[in-house]
Structure 1
Amino acid sequence: MIERKFIAQKTKEYQIQEYINENLKNVGHSHTKMVKTPLGEKIVLYASRPGLIVGRKGQNIKELTKTLKKRFGLENPQIEISEVTDINLDANIVAERIANSLERFGTQKFKAIGHRVMEDVISAGALGIEITVSGKIPSSRAKSWRFYSGYLKKCGNIAIVDVDKAYVQAKLKTGVVGIKVSLMPPGIKLPDKVELIEEKEEKIEEVSEENKEGKNEIKPKAKKTAKTNARTKSNAVEKEAEDKNPDEEKAEKESVVKPHKEPAPNVHDGVKNED
């Protein structure tokens, strides 16, 4: 049962978008977004010329809200309009531009129209574009003409998600002409694009002969201080002690003269024999 609700909701959104696209032709309409809010359904219209969608004193918006309430059963639709920043990077606007120029100037200059639009898109920063025009152009037999420039993905996740696609019909005297535009906008990270990081080269400085001679010059000796003199004396004593053999040390010890002690005076020698 839940699946049926989701399917009914999505079919209703699709019907609303198709109705808006049919009523907002030749106005620079790009796409629509529908968001549910506590106050009601919020519908955002993206267009290159929002003034034409609003109309005089908001007359077009009022009529659109009435039809959405009656035909699709929306309780409180809130319509907002946002302007497209760059019209050359939107596939719907580009396809609509080609269709309008074909309806105005005819099919004799369709190649010039295709190349001019393609150059504008590439100069805007797009990575690649492909335009396919199919119909009775320029003869009575139906043909398909393809204009392409840059790099465009044809398969994979990037081709499904990131590539902007649009299809528009131009009604001419000879019949209906279909215009298909596929556009890859800038800023897409491609998985097959590899950037090589170059290692920085170490700069080896060449030393001239004059610098070498300057390095080999004898530096003046530093002045000796009292601390350095004491250190040198202690080091010299330690070296002398290390250099002496054990036999020489014994000989030095034996050669040392012991101090001579005088005998103590005899007490009996001073006493006279009274007898």
Structure 2
Amino acid sequence: MATEKKFIETSLEEIKIKDYLQKEHAKAGVSDIIIQKTPVTTRILLVVKKPGLIVGKKGAGIQNTIETLKKKFHVENPQIEVTETENPVLNPKLQAEKIARQIEIKGKVKPTLNLALKEIIDAGAIGVEIRAAGKVVGKGAKAKTITVRQGHLKKSGEELKKVKTGHAEANMAAGIIGVKVSIIPPKTKFLDEQIKKIEQGENNGDNTQKPTQRNDQGSTSKQT
């Protein structure tokens, strides 16, 4: 029971730290936060769109964050590493944040979703689904969900793990609109597709015709 309580406390602590880092460095475009604890240190990896906004001049930004983690969250010996997101357009977390901010500014939900959908597909994604849920029409209207999708997207099974997802919220006068972006990255391989290719190859092999030879009388016969 004590172990379970300790696990819950640790999980809640990590959620608070991630929430702080997400909000504190929102302008840097945080796509992922990985926390690893060892007996002597706490390693924190920040995957962001603009690393320079976190690092700061001569590392001052990172040092300020480290001091806050020590004082506010009592993190022992925190070490922060910052790395750049490989492709921001194909990152579901960054896309969800971008869509949410655009909805807050423009107030137009479906056009914003469609623009993001086109951008992600043009970047090479195999499949994309974007959902916005809440009072998407305006104040006084009932909550509803708007969904746009394109391409191939897995909905269930083991292959669902290959779908990358990201969430964000748009704070509107009528209430919060939740945004969820699901992306299947380029070059993703699915087991059922690989099996299908193997089966097609085997069938093609069974149906191949044997070569023919022409005899002296001008007739043809199949080789055996």
Query: For the superposition of Structure 1 and Structure 2, which TM-score range results when normalised by the shorter chain?
Result: 0.7 to 0.9
Residues 139 and 208 (structure 1 numbering): CA distance in 2 closer, same or farther, change over 3 Å?
farther
Note the 1:2-41 alignment, pairs <5 A.
2-37=3-38, 39-41=40-42
Q: What TM-score do the two structures reach when normalised by structure 2?
A: 0.80
| Change beyond 3 A, Cα 1:129–1:192 | same
5 Å-filtered alignment, 1:49-198, equals 49-104=50-105, 106-108=106-108, 110-140=109-139, 141=141, 142-159=143-160, 161-193=161-193, 194-195=196-197, 196-197=200-201, 198=204
SS across alignment from 1:181: strand
Q: How many pairs were matched up?
A: 209
RMSD: 2.6
Query: Amino acid of the residue matched to residue 208 of structure 2?
Result: E
- Once the two structures are superposed, residues 104-134 of structure 1 have per-residue CA deviations (whole angstroms, 9 ceiling, x without a partner) of 3x123x3332122112222333222111112
Q: 1:204 aligns with which of 197, 204, 211?
A: 211
Q: Which moved more, 1:112-121 or 1:197-206?
A: 197-206
The structure with more strand, counted as a fraction of residues:
2
Measure, in 1, the Cα distance between the counterparts of 2:135 and 2:165: 23
* Separation in 1, partners of 2:124, 2:94: 16
Between Structure 1 and Structure 2, whose CA radius of gyration is higher?
1
Q: Provide the C-alpha distance between the structure 2 equivalents of 1:26 and 1:203, rounded to a whole number of angstroms.
A: 66
Note the residue ranges of structure 2 that are not aligned, 5 or more in a row: 220-224
For structure 1, the residue ranges without an aligned partner over 5 or more in a row are: 213-275
Q: Secondary structure at the match of 1:192?
A: helix
1:240 alignment counterpart: none
Which residue identity does 1:65 align to in structure 2? I
Letter in 1 for 2:20: Y
Amino acid at match of 1:48: K
Output the TM-score relative to the length of structure 1: 0.67
Higher relative contact order (CA 8 A, sep 6+): 2
What secondary structure sits across from 1:26 in the alignment?
helix
Letter aligned with residue 50 of structure 1: P
Q: Deviations over 1:58-85 (max 9, x none)?
A: 3332221111101221121111101111
CA distance in 1, matches of 2:97, 2:8: 30
CA distance in 2, matches of 1:126, 1:75: 41
User: Cα distance 1:145–1:76, how it changes in 2: closer, same or farther (>3 A)?
Assistant: same
